[in-house]
Amino acid sequence: MGKPTGFMEYQREVSEDISPVERVKNFREFHRHLPKERQQLQGARCMECGVPFCQSGMNICGMTSGCPLHNLVPEWNDLVYIGNWEQAYGRLVKTNNFPEFTSRVCPALCEAACTCGLNGEAVATRENEYAIIENAYAEGYAAPRPPRVRTGKKVAVVGSGPSGLAVADQLNRRGHSVTVFERSDRPGGLLMYGIPNMKLEKHIVERKIKIMEAEGVTFLTGVDVGRDKKAEKLLKEFDRVVLACGASNPRDINAPGRDAKGIYFAVDFLKANTKSLLDSDFKDGNFVNTKGKNVVIIGGGDTGNDCVGTSIRHGCRSVTQIEMMPKAPDKRAENNPWPEWPKICKTDYGQEEAIALFGHDPRIYESTVKEFVKDKSGNLKAVKIVKLSWEKDPKSGRMNMKEVPGSEQILPAEIVLIAAGFLGSQKYVTDDFKVELNPRTNVQTAPGQYETSVKNVFTAGDMHRGQSLVVWAIREGREAARAVDESLMGYTNLMVQ
């Protein structure tokens, strides 16, 4: 510990955000990060606790506490403080393949479990992570390092999201020859097309892809495995196959009027938006333009918030976000103590922008859509919502949602974006590989394992565990890579943590 009293001497300081009114004028990242000298003082606030919950990644009451990657947080916080940036980078990438992604899009499970947060403000660990990785690129520490020896083994990775990239990165480091198949026109999966540019600029993804290519990973885009390239052929050409295709089936809303024109899944809306931005700076018109429209977003999570921010940037007339759950408390409840994940109300960047532009929080809680209202031409013109109440079933004891009679409300809406989550893997892929599925349509494996019911076929990420965080996808990718390596070589020296 470089500064035993640092947490008392220095206040938490993080990057300053560009004001909502200004940042909505473009799709750029909007954080003004601290200069290196001030960032180092943030490293001094880390106490290097005897029990560092920040890196535990343990499950407490069904929620993750601390980093699932078991990042060596106290170590590289201390190295940041003393100014040893190169060694800090070495400790950071020992457990995390992609800190340039997690330092931007991770909800910072490490900070939620920080001991400093028990009686004050948590250490600014995510911003320290950002400073380490960006300094590494600037100083050349993050340059390509191809493996010195090749094993002669070939592995196909299907899907180039965070789990697929982690699998590929780990196995390539081991010396195996890795080919990544991606059905989209650019690699990156949800990092490229599922997360909007203002949260993760795409040149950051492309920068890492180029590093991986220089290290020997092959990326084949525009190849839809299961359709363009069949499983039988892939298994003949490669020693092992890893399915990392994500949980790609969006949950639908079945209500009268669902066939109205103007209703889109959030994932399609966000993908088209980013692709048009990258292809032509929106000049091609191949996106859903919300300019001058009343937008209703169904879903209160991160994806719904991304839809809020994207709609505002296109100049929507109004935006409303429908959430089935009650509003979370503004402060921790007594039954939600540290180091559990804090179940508190989070106002994210999109909601902040809506408040700044429209004067109110866009979220309506404990409500659901009862009907999509169409005009004579079949175009969406409004959404009828109804309030919900939670009641306990006297027989099962389960809490059920029931409509509140007479609580219907009509919201004007020319565009609806469904951001209600995902249901599992895509059937044409799992059918082609003939892998077993669990009841949630995720690929089935033995508990804690990654090999599927089909020999030499492995799985990782959301396709395996269901919709989750980027940091969990990376963890799954690292563990799956270790399993693949052991099956190929009879042993493995790949680290998971």
227, 251, 229: which is closest to 238 by C-alpha? 229
Same domain (yes/no): 35, 78: yes
Q: How far apart are CA 365 and CA 326, in angstroms?
A: 5
Tell which wins on pLDDT, 393 or 217: 217
Least confident segment among 36-45, 185-194, 267-276, 393-402: 393-402
- How would you class 304 by CB atoms within 10 Å of its CB: exposed for 0-12, middle for 13-18, buried for 19 or more? buried
Same domain (yes/no): 284, 194: no
- Position 146 in a domain: no
What pLDDT is attached to residue 497? 62
Average pLDDT over residues 310-319: 98
What pLDDT is attached to residue 2? 66
Confidence of residue 3 (pLDDT cuts 50, 70, 90): confident
What pLDDT is attached to residue 149? 96
Average pLDDT over residues 284-312: 97
Same domain (yes/no): 276, 401: yes
- Position 495 in a domain: no
Average pLDDT over residues 55-76: 94
For the cut 70, the answer to whether the pLDDT of residue 205 exceeds it is yes
**For the domain that residue 377 is a member of, what is the CATH number?**
3.50.50.60
* Domain final residue, candidates 361, 385, 418: 418
Mean pLDDT of the chain: 96
Long-range contacts of 194-197 (CB under 8 A, 24+ apart): 194/161, 194/267, 194/270, 194/271, 194/303, 195/105, 195/270, 195/306, 196/27, 196/270, 196/273, 196/274, 196/306, 196/309, 196/310, 197/27, 197/28, 197/29, 197/274, 197/277
Task: Identify whether 99 is preceded by a cis peptide bond (ω within 30 of 0).
Answer: no
Same domain (yes/no): 164, 118: no
- Position 255 in a domain: no
Expressed as residue numbers, the domain containing 102 is: 6-139
* Domain final residue, candidates 418, 452, 468: 418
Same domain (yes/no): 191, 47: no
Q: Do 132 and 88 touch, CB atoms closer than 8 A?
A: yes
- Position 144 in a domain: no
Q: For the chain, how many structural domains are there in total?
A: 3
DSSP letter assigned to residue 95: T
For the cut 90, the answer to whether the pLDDT of residue 496 exceeds it is no
For the cut 80, the answer to whether the pLDDT of residue 454 exceeds it is yes
Average pLDDT over residues 272-301: 97
Same domain (yes/no): 128, 195: no
Q: At what angle do helices 302-313 and 349-358 cross, to 10 degrees?
A: 40
Same domain (yes/no): 216, 273: no
Average pLDDT over residues 231-257: 96
**For the domain that residue 86 is a member of, what is the CATH number?**
1.10.1060.10
DSSP letter assigned to residue 147: -
What pLDDT is attached to residue 1? 67
Per residue in 93-140, pLDDT tens? Answer: 999 999 999 999 999 999 999 999 988 899 999 999 999 999 999 999
Same domain (yes/no): 101, 190: no
Q: Do 42 and 15 touch, CB atoms closer than 8 A?
A: no
- Position 257 in a domain: no
- Position 1 in a domain: no
- Position 439 in a domain: yes
Which pTM does this prediction carry?
Answer: 0.96
Per residue in 268-282, pLDDT tens? Answer: 999 999 999 999 999
Same domain (yes/no): 469, 323: no
Same domain (yes/no): 26, 47: yes
Same domain (yes/no): 193, 46: no
Per residue in 370-404, pLDDT tens? Answer: 999 999 999 999 999 999 998 888 888 888 889 99
What pLDDT is attached to residue 82? 96
Task: Please provide residue 471's backbone torsions phi and psi, each rounded to the nearest 5 degrees.
Answer: -65, -35
What pLDDT is attached to residue 380? 98
Any residues with CB less than 8 A from the CB of 411 and at least 6 apart, and which? 294, 296, 320, 382, 383, 384, 385
Q: At what angle do helices 85-92 and 73-82 cross, to 10 degrees?
A: 170
Tokens of 25: 């004028």
* Domain final residue, candidates 384, 418, 452: 418
- Position 12 in a domain: yes
Same domain (yes/no): 119, 160: no
- Identify residue 197 by its one-letter amino acid code: N
Tell which wins on pLDDT, 48 or 204: 204
Any residues with CB less than 8 A from the CB of 35 and at least 6 apart, and which? none
